[in-house]
Amino acid sequence: MSPHKTVRTHEMGDTLVVSVGGYLNSLLGEEVEKVVRAELEGGGRRILLNFGGTRLVNSIGISFVIGIVEKVMEREGRMAFCEVSRINRDLFQVTGLAKYVRSFETEKEALDYLSGNA
Amino acid sequence: MGAEASFREDEFFGREEELHALTRAALEGGRGIGSSFMIYGPPNIGKTSLLLKLAHVLRTSTGEGLPRPFPLYFSFSQILSHPLALSQHFLQEFLLQLLRFLGEAQPSAFNPAAMCDRLASFGVTGCREVLAAHERCTAEGDGLSALVNALSFPFSASGDLFYPVFLFDDFQYTGKLQGVPDGAMLSILRPYIKSGHFPMFLSGSSPGRVTASLKREGLFGTFQMIEVAGLSADSSIRLWGHLCERRRVEIPASLLPRASERLGGIPVYQRMLVEEIFFRNAKVPDAITLENLYALAVTEGKLNRYWREFFENTFPDRSRRGRAIRFLKRVLCDRFPLDTVEGAISLMGVSQEEGEEILSALEFKGLLKADLEQLSFVGDPVLADFLYWAFERGVLGKGTSQVAAAIVQAQLSHGSPEPGQGADHARRVAIVKELMRKWDLREVPLLLFDFGKFREKFGGKGLLEVVIGMEHEAMRVRLPKVSSVSTGYRASRGGPRFDFDLVAYGFLEGDFSEENLVIWAVDAAVEKNLGARAVEHFENRCRLLALEKGLPHDRLRKWMLINETADPAAVDLAEQYGIHMSHPTQVRLFLNLFGLEELEREPEPSRSGGAPAPRAGKPLEYELVLPMKADSEVVAARVAEEVAAFAAVDADTVDRIKMAIIEACINAFEHSASESGKVRLRYLLSPDKIELFVQDDGRGFRTGKAAEESKKNRGWGLKLIRELVDDVEIITGPDGTVVRMVKYLEAGPGKPATAKETGGPASPGER
C-alpha cells in the first residue's frame, strides 16, 4: 500500500530482472524505464519485469510499461512479466499489453522462457 | 563541526517543500525581498540536515549574475558560553567558509591573518581591520562589542560578489551567553534582518524561547515559522531503501511503512535501527523479528544509548534525572492529561523551583513547547518506549528482556481496537464533558450521583414519575465551576490503565484559587455490567492521582458512569469508597437539567467480530477531501479498502474499487482546472452496492494538457474505470465534475462479487 518507488534489479544469466515494488505510478514507471533503457543501451536484450511487489498500479504507470515494451521491441529484445496479480493482469489485458508480453506465475518459469528453455 | 561532519548528502530524503520555500527565500535575498525563517522541531529530527542540505543547494545554485548567495552555517551549540570565544570562533568560521565558497580548496584554517590575505586576493577587503578591532575588544574583555564586531562583519564584507545567507543552528544557545542579555544577538542582527537583503534561518529546538526573543525585538512578524517533523511516509521509505542497501540489510518492502510509522519517520532512528540490525547481523524476514530487533535497540541497543546519553547530558544530577524521566513517562506513555505548568509541577511532586528548572531544561532540549503557560509535549514513539523501559527498569526493577517483550507485545497488538474505544463510548464521554463544562456552581439533586439510593427510590417507576420526584429532592449538591476538562486516553500498552476518561479541574467557589481547587476524575464504564473489580481499579487510580496532585481527599471527586447495569457488590464498594455512580437514566436526567440531550445510540458497525456490514441497515456514508497532490490518491484507495472491508467483499473486488478510485482521482487532478485544489470523495455503502463519487470543482475537462499526455499512451483512465466497476456516470455541472462509480455486490459476502469477467486467461504463458 505504500506509494514509494522501489526498483530493484538483478542479473540472471543474460536477463535483467527488474522487481517493481510499491505503487506503480509515474515516478516508479519512470524509474523502471530508466533502468530498462540503461540496460538496452548497455547491450542487454532480455528483460523480465517482476510485479510480485507491486501493490497498486495506475494508468500512468501502465503507460510507462507500454513505453518500455515498445522500446524493447524496437531493439528486438525479449521480454516477459512474472508474478502479476489478478487485478493487474486484467489491467494489462484491457490496455492490450498482454498481447505483446507473456506473463508467468513465477520468476523461474519466466527466466526459462526468456532463455529459450520453455 | 560534529553535525556538519556527519551530514551525508546522499542520505537526505524528503522535505522537498521546506527546502523549496527556504531556497526561494534565500535567493530572493539577492533582490532585497528575502524573508527569514524560524525552523523548529524536536531534537534530532533533522533540522541541522535541512540547513546543511540548504547550504549545499545554495552553494551549487547557478543563479543569474552576481551577487551569489553565500550560505554561512553556524551552530551555537559548539561554542563555550563566553561571548569572546563565540565571536572569535564565528569570525574564523566566516573567513574559512567564505574562502571555501570563493573556491579555495584548503584554506589555512588556523591562521586568520593568512585567510584575510587570501580573501583580499578575491577582492574581499577589510578583514584585517576587523580582526584588529576584534583583538582590541578581546584585550579589553568587552564581549558584547566583540560580538557586534564579528556578527556585523559578513554584512559589511559582502558586496557585488556575494551576500551572506545565515544558517544559524541551535539558536536557543544564544540565550545562554555569559554577561550578554537574552536577545542581544537578535538586537545586533535586527537591522540586517529587517533589510530583506540578508535572509536569516534560525533553527532550534526551543521555539518558545526564541519566539519570545523575536517578539521582544519586534521581529516576530518578519519570521516565518517552519516546524520540522518526521519524514513523510514516502521519503522515509526511500531512506529505508538507501540505508538498507548501504548496509546490505534486507527488510521486506511490505514491512517498511509500518517500520517508518514505528519510528515516527525520524531519520536518525532509522539510521540507528539499520546499524543495529547490521551489527547484530540479523535477518529480518517478518514483522515480529523487526519488532523484536526494535525492542532490543530501545532497551539495550543504540536507541537506548542515544536517549540515555541525552538524559544524562540534560540532567547530570541523578535524582533529578529520575524525576524528569518519571514525569515524562507519565505524560508520554500514560498520556496523563496535562497542559499547564502548574499541573506539570504538581505531577512531578517537587518544589516550584525545581519543577520549573526541569521543565525549562526539557524545553531547552525541545521535548516540550511552552506557549502562554500551555505545555505541549513531543510525540516521539521511540522516546515513549525508552521512557517506558527506563521506568520499568528503574522504578519497577524489571529486567530488560521483560521490558523488551512488553514492548514487542504492545506493538503487535497495536491497532486492534481496544474495548471501550468504540464510538459509543467516545460519544458518552464527549457529552458528559460538555455537561461538566456547564456546571458553573449550580445545585443539583444529590440523587443524580447516587445510583444505590436512586434505584431504591425510583426503581421500576416511569420516567415522568422520576422527573417529578427529582424536582422535590431536598438533598442537593453544589457543583463546581469547571475551568477545564481533559479527555484521557486508554493506555495502549495492554497493562492496567493509569488515566481516566475525563479529568476536570474546577473551583468550589467562583474564585480561581488554590484553596478552591477541586478535581473530578470520571470514567465511563465500557463493560455492560459494571463489576466490583472495575470499581476497585478506579479507586486505585484515584488514589494515585490524589497522591500525585497532593490533593486532600475531599478535593478529588470520583465519578463512574454505568454503561447498562452494575453488580450490587460494585455499588456497595462505590459507596464505601465515596465514588459517585450514575446510571444512564440518571445521566439523562442530569443532561436534561442542563438543556443537553443524550445522543441516540447508533449501532455503528465495528470491524471486530465479523462486522455484519450494513446489509440490513441504511447506507453508510463516508466522506474524504483530498488535496490535489501527487500520490494523495493512495489515501483515497486506502479509505476505499477500509470501507469495502465493512461489506466483507472479496479481495479482487476491493482491488477493483481501489484502482477505479485511483484513476478517478488522477483524472480529477489532471484534467480539472480546479480552483480549490481539492477533490471531494464520497463512499456510499449499501447492502447491494458500493457507490463512489469523486467530485472536483473544475470546469469540465482541460484539453491542452490531456492531449499532450495522450502522446505517451495516456488516456486509459476512463476506459479502465469502465472495466473495473459496473456503472460509470460523469456529470459536469457549473460546480464541477462528478464521477459516479458503482460496484454491485450481488454475491454474498465471502464470494467473488465481480460482475464482469475480463475473459480468459490474461496471457498465453499463464498456468
pLDDT digits (tens, 9 = 90+) for B534-566: 888 888 778 777 776 677 778 889 999 998 888
- Measured between CA atoms, the residue of chain B closest to residue A60 is B714
Report how many Cβ contacts below 8 Å link chain A to chain B: 113
B223-258: per-residue pLDDT in tens?
A: 888 888 888 888 899 999 899 988 888 888 888 888
Q: Determine, yes or no, domain membership for B756.
A: no
Q: CATH number, domain at B329?
A: 1.10.10
Q: Determine, yes or no, domain membership for B570.
A: yes
- Measured between CA atoms, the residue of chain B closest to residue A57 is B659
Q: Determine, yes or no, domain membership for A70.
A: yes
Q: Quick one: B455 and B337 in the same domain? A: no
Q: Determine, yes or no, domain membership for A117.
A: no
Give the pLDDT mean for A72-91.
91
Cβ-defined contact of A87 to B767 (cutoff 8 Å): no
Which residues does A contribute to its contact with B (CB < 8 Å)? 1-6, 21-23, 25, 27, 53, 56-60, 62-63, 66-67, 80-81, 84-87, 89-95, 98, 101-105, 109-110, 113
B728-738: per-residue pLDDT in tens?
A: 888 877 777 88
Nearest-neighbour CA in chain A from B632: distance (Å):
9
Asked if the C-beta of B257 comes within 8 angstroms of chain A's C-beta atoms, the answer is: yes
Interface of B with A in 665-684 (CB under 8 A): 666
Cβ-defined contact of B720 to A92 (cutoff 8 Å): no
Q: Determine, yes or no, domain membership for B492.
A: yes
Q: Quick one: B239 and B332 in the same domain? A: no
Asked if the C-beta of B234 comes within 8 angstroms of chain A's C-beta atoms, the answer is: yes
- Record the cell numbers describing residue B660, joined without a space: 477505479
| Bigger pLDDT: B283 vs B462 | B283
| Bigger pLDDT: B510 vs B641 | B641
B64-100: per-residue pLDDT in tens?
A: 666 788 888 888 876 557 788 888 888 888 888 888 8
Helix (H) or strand (E) holding B466: helix B463-471
Q: Quick one: B197 and B254 in the same domain? A: no
- Return the sign of the alpha-carbon dihedral for residues B762, B763, B764, B767: negative
Distance CA A19, CA B61 (A): 35
Asked if the C-beta of B663 comes within 8 angstroms of chain A's C-beta atoms, the answer is: yes
pLDDT of residue B80: 59
Asked if the C-beta of B16 comes within 8 angstroms of chain A's C-beta atoms, the answer is: no
Q: Quick one: B715 and B660 in the same domain? A: yes
B258-283: per-residue pLDDT in tens?
A: 888 888 889 989 999 999 888 888 78
B-chain CB neighbours of A65 within 8 Å are: none
A-chain CB neighbours of B254 within 8 Å are: 53
Read off the pTM.
0.50
B-chain CB neighbours of A59 within 8 Å are: 663, 666, 714, 716-717, 720
Q: Determine, yes or no, domain membership for A118.
A: no
- CB nearest to A105's CB, from B666, B723, B767: B767
| Bigger pLDDT: B366 vs B514 | B366
- Measured between CA atoms, the residue of chain A closest to residue B636 is A1
Q: Determine, yes or no, domain membership for A64.
A: yes
Distance CA B184, CA B168 (A): 15
Q: Give, in order, the Cα–Cα distances in Å from B492 to each of B88, B325, B409, B524.
A: 52, 19, 11, 17
Give the pLDDT mean for A48-68.
90
State the number of CA atoms in the 13 A half-sphere of A52 facing the CB: 16
pLDDT greater than 50 at residue A49: yes
Give the pLDDT mean for A50-74.
90
- Measured between CA atoms, the residue of chain A closest to residue B766 is A104
pLDDT of residue B28: 80
Q: Determine, yes or no, domain membership for B298.
A: no
Q: CATH number, domain at B659?
A: 3.30.565.10
Strand partners, B70: B164
Q: Quick one: B169 and B34 in the same domain? A: yes
| Bigger pLDDT: B335 vs B501 | B501
> Do B435 and B596 meet the contact criterion of CB atoms below 8 Å apart?
yes
What's the pLDDT band for B409 if we cut at 50, 70, 90? low
> Do B393 and B406 meet the contact criterion of CB atoms below 8 Å apart?
no
Asked if the C-beta of B659 comes within 8 angstroms of chain A's C-beta atoms, the answer is: yes
Asked if the C-beta of B743 comes within 8 angstroms of chain A's C-beta atoms, the answer is: no
pLDDT greater than 50 at residue B766: no
| Bigger pLDDT: B514 vs B449 | B449
Cβ-defined contact of B666 to A105 (cutoff 8 Å): no
Distance CA B227, CA B39 (A): 6
Give the pLDDT mean for A42-61.
90
Cβ-defined contact of A53 to B764 (cutoff 8 Å): no
Pairing state of beta strands B517-524 and B502-507? antiparallel
Map grid coordinates 523501559 to a residue. B389
Q: CATH number, domain at A18?
A: 3.30.750.24
Q: Which structural domain, as residue segments, surrounds residue B374? A: 304-413
Of A61-75, B440-454, B569-583, B608-622, which gets the smallest average pLDDT?
Answer: B608-622
pLDDT greater than 70 at residue B668: yes
* Averaged pLDDT of chain B: 78
Could you tell me the maximum CA-CA distance found in chain B, to the nearest angstrom?
100
Q: Which structural domain, as residue segments, surrounds residue A49? A: 5-111
Give the pLDDT mean for A13-37.
91
- Record the cell numbers describing residue B322, joined without a space: 529520575
Strand partners, A24: A57
Q: Determine, yes or no, domain membership for A116.
A: no
Give the pLDDT mean for B685-692.
86
Q: Determine, yes or no, domain membership for B754.
A: no
Backbone angles phi, psi at B733, to 5 degrees: -125, -175
pLDDT greater than 70 at residue B684: yes
Number of domain units in chain A: 1
A-chain CB neighbours of B719 within 8 Å are: 94
Nearest-neighbour CA in chain A from B237: distance (Å):
7
Q: Quick one: B455 and B553 in the same domain? A: yes
Give the pLDDT mean for B333-337.
71
What's the pLDDT band for B498 if we cut at 50, 70, 90? low
Distance CA B742, CA B318 (A): 64
pLDDT of residue B511: 64
Q: CATH number, domain at B79?
A: 3.40.50.300
Cβ-defined contact of B256 to A56 (cutoff 8 Å): no
Q: Determine, yes or no, domain membership for B637.
A: yes
Give the pLDDT mean for B679-697.
87
Q: CATH number, domain at B504?
A: 3.40.1350.10
Backbone angles phi, psi at B763, to 5 degrees: -155, 160
Pairing state of beta strands B620-627 and B678-685? antiparallel
pLDDT of residue B763: 37
Q: Determine, yes or no, domain membership for B765.
A: no
Give the pLDDT mean for B166-180.
81
B-chain CB neighbours of A22 within 8 Å are: 237, 253
What's the pLDDT band for B217 if we cut at 50, 70, 90? confident
Q: Quick one: B76 and B12 in the same domain? A: yes
Q: Determine, yes or no, domain membership for A88.
A: yes
Pairing state of beta strands B689-696 and A5-12? unpaired
Q: Quick one: B386 and B403 in the same domain? A: yes
Q: Quick one: B662 and B685 in the same domain? A: yes
B102-119: per-residue pLDDT in tens?
A: 888 777 777 888 888 888
| Bigger pLDDT: B673 vs A63 | A63
B280-324: per-residue pLDDT in tens?
A: 887 888 888 888 888 889 888 899 999 999 999 889 998 899 889
pLDDT of residue B488: 61
Number of domain units in chain B: 5
Cis (ω within 30 of 0) for the bond into B42? no
The pLDDT > 70 percentage for chain B reads 83
Q: Quick one: B444 and B359 in the same domain? A: no
Cβ-defined contact of B655 to A87 (cutoff 8 Å): yes
Q: At what angle do helices B267-279 and B287-299 cross, to 10 degrees?
A: 100
What's the pLDDT band for A5 if we cut at 50, 70, 90? low
pLDDT of residue B562: 93
- Record the cell numbers describing residue B117, joined without a space: 590575505
Give the pLDDT mean for B634-657.
83
pLDDT greater than 70 at residue B599: no
Q: Determine, yes or no, domain membership for A48.
A: yes
Q: Determine, yes or no, domain membership for A37.
A: yes
pLDDT greater than 50 at residue B708: no
A-chain CB neighbours of B714 within 8 Å are: 59-60, 63
Q: Quick one: B114 and B137 in the same domain? A: yes
- CB nearest to B652's CB, from A67, A87, A105: A87
Pairing state of beta strands B162-169 and B200-204? parallel
Helix residue ranges per DSSP H, A1-118: 26-41, 59-74, 86-94, 97-100, 107-114
Backbone angles phi, psi at A48, to 5 degrees: -120, 125
B373-403: per-residue pLDDT in tens?
A: 677 788 788 898 898 888 887 766 667 777 7
Nearest-neighbour CA in chain A from B444: distance (Å):
54
Cβ-defined contact of B723 to A90 (cutoff 8 Å): yes
| Bigger pLDDT: B715 vs B21 | B21
Nearest to B671 by CA among B734, B726, B626, B715: B715
- Measured between CA atoms, the residue of chain B closest to residue A93 is B762
Q: Determine, yes or no, domain membership for B753.
A: no
